[in-house]
Structure 1
Amino acid sequence: MSNISHKAGETKGQAQEKTSQMVDSAKNTVNAACDKASDTAQSTRDSAQKTGDSSAGFLQQTGEQARNMAQGAVDSVKNAVNKVKGPNEK
């Protein structure tokens, strides 16, 4: 019986480790997307200021929307991670 408990403990530990790895990977992906969206928004603002183009406002709004969507994705991953890890884990 103790062998079964030991195997169950090992399996649980392996599952927790795999979950942690997947969560870390998701965080990295979302953070990279957020950084890219933020860079794109900044580039759009810079271009708009240089050209004085009438479409600048539209481009700036689009960049801001992309950044906000990326931030929403980051928040979603954080919420999912907190649900997986539980309230007492970091």
Structure 2
Amino acid sequence: MASHQEQSYKAGETRGKTQEKTGEAMRTMREKTEAAKEKTQGAALTAQDKAHETAQSAKDKTSQAGQTTQQKAQESKDKTGSYMSETGEAAKNKAQDAAEYTKETAEAGKDKTSGFLGQTGEQVKQMAMGATDTVKHTLGFGTDEGNKEHVSSDPSTTTTTTTHATQRK
């Protein structure tokens, strides 16, 4: 009888140690998953900021070029007679039109870049959340004894995973 009690005690002790190690492993995986998620979000924000800075720089350079063209046209107008004045005015108008077109093109490029990076950032965030859910599912977090489904909010990347609880007899 003492042997049975000793075996039962050792089994309980082993079960306790196993549960403790499992808990530690799960905490470690949770921490690693969270760190990866934060790193991915940080990279997406950095890329978006860089694109915004690049677009703003292009817009500023275009604006400066337009102002320089206008100043040169004004100087040219002042140095010439009335005929040349008319020609200078036409050149000035063309320069203004070109500067405006360049400015609009830069703004359109900025908008396209921001939209693209916003989508990319959202996709990266969705992938990170999907990876987190996969790790949690693999480790048994967030599931109960019934069926569970996870559906992504992005319809183009919808993934449905169904798990069934096993019954022990």
Instruction: Provide the residue aligned with 2:43 in structure 1.
Output: 40
Matches within 5 A, 1:10-89: 10-52=13-55, 54=109, 56=113, 57-81=115-139, 83=140, 87=144
Report the counterpart of residue 10 of structure 2 in structure 1. 7
Higher relative contact order (CA 8 A, sep 6+): 1
Structure showing greater Rg: 2
Q: TM-score, normalised by structure 1?
A: 0.76
Following superposition, the deviation at residue 6 of structure 1 comes to: 0.3
Task: Give the number of aligned pairs.
Answer: 87
1:39 shift after superposition: 0.5
Q: Judging changes above 3 Å, is the alpha-carbon distance between structure 1 residues 35 and 14 closer, same or farther for their aligned structure 2 residues?
A: same
Taking every aligned residue pair, what percent have the same amino acid on both sides? Answer: 38
Which amino acid is the alignment partner of residue 13 of structure 1?
A: G
Distance 1:23 1:61, change over 3 A: same
Give distance in 1, aligned partners of 2:143 and 2:12.
18
Using structure 2 for the length normalisation, give the TM-score.
0.44
* Structure 1 unmatched runs, 5+: none
- Shift of residue 71, structure 1, vs aligned partner: 1.2
Give me the CA root mean square deviation.
Answer: 2.7
Question: Which consecutive unaligned segments of at least 5 residues does structure 2 have?
Answer: 59-108, 146-169
Which whole-Å CA distance do the structure 2 matches of 1:12 and 1:73 have between them?
30
Select the structure that is richer in helix.
Answer: 1
